[in-house]
């Protein structure tokens, strides 16, 4: 039982992601600024993690305001999304899947995401956005953004900023 639980962490998260309807969503890989990374290399992992969560929160706050306007604050309307943070020796960056809201086209939300990321403090222009246009791509990207999930490392998912409706 113990072995199944440890091995199952990554697969449980991946299975849960595969059950979510990601059709009509964008896959994003974006880098934090080199200045942030240089400063944070001397920080412990928890401090770096905390700073990355803060940057994601600022980005998401700006994006939600831009996409939903007053409905974001008044009614709590938010984009459906999942964030993960990858901490590599070379560059710390985030991966995300953001569902395209019904009131936006893929082109509009892609432009909103790119512009908002660039205007968020401690980010850089290195951002890649792809449309999740088929199930295989969504499954592969779901596996890709959870590649660091394991029994001792579930914190690569940024649960603080992820927003997925629960049935």
Q: Express each pLDDT in 78-137 by its tens digit.
A: 999 989 888 765 677 888 989 999 889 999 999 999 999 999 988 988 899 988 766 666
Give the number of other CB atoms < 10 A from CB of residue 90: 7
User: Does any domain span residue 159?
Assistant: no
What is the count of structural domains for the chain? 1
Give the pLDDT confidence score for residue 5 in this predicted structure: 36
- Which pLDDT score is estimated for 3? 34
Among 3-12, 39-48, 108-117, the range with the most confident prediction by mean pLDDT is 108-117
User: Domain for residue 102, yes or no?
Assistant: yes
Q: Nearest-CA neighbor of 81 among 68, 70, 69, 92?
A: 68
Question: Is 153 part of a structural domain of the chain?
Answer: no
Helix (H) or strand (E) holding 86: strand 81-86
Residue 112 lies in a domain: yes
Query: Of 3-12, 13-22, 50-59, 145-154, which has the strongest mean pLDDT?
Result: 50-59
Query: Is residue 20 assigned to a domain?
Result: yes
Is 150 part of a structural domain of the chain?
Answer: no
Q: How many helices (H) and strands (E) does the chain have?
A: 6, 4
The whole-number pLDDT of residue 74 equals: 95
Instruction: Write out the residue range of the structural domain in which residue 28 sits.
Output: 2-145
Q: Cβ atoms within 10 A of the Cβ of 142, count? A: 22
Contacts of 103 (CB under 8 A, 6+ apart): 67, 68
**Bigger pLDDT: 20 or 116?**
116
- What's the N-to-C CA distance of the chain in angstroms? 27
Give the domain CATH number at 7: 3.30.70
Q: Is residue 75 part of a domain?
A: yes
């Amino acid at each position: 039982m113990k072995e199944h639980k440890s091995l199952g962490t990554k697969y449980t998260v991946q299975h849960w992601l595969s059950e979510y309807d990601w059709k009509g969503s964008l896959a994003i890989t974006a880098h934090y600024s080199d200045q942030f990374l240089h400063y944070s290399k001397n920080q412990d992992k928890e401090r770096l993690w905390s700073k990355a969560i803060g940057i994601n929160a600022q980005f998401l706050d700006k994006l939600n305001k831009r996409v939903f306007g007053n409905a974001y604050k008044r009614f709590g309307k938010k984009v459906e999304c999942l964030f993960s943070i990858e901490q590599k020796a070379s560059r710390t960056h985030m991966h995300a899947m953001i569902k395209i809201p019904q009131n936006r086209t893929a082109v509009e939300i892609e432009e909103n995401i790119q512009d908002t990321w660039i205007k968020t403090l401690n980010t850089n222009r290195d951002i890649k956005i792809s449309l999740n246009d088929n199930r295989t791509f969504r499954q592969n990207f779901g596996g890709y953004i959870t590649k660091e999930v394991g029994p001792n490392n579930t914190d690569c998912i940024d649960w603080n900023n992820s927003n997925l409706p629960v049935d």
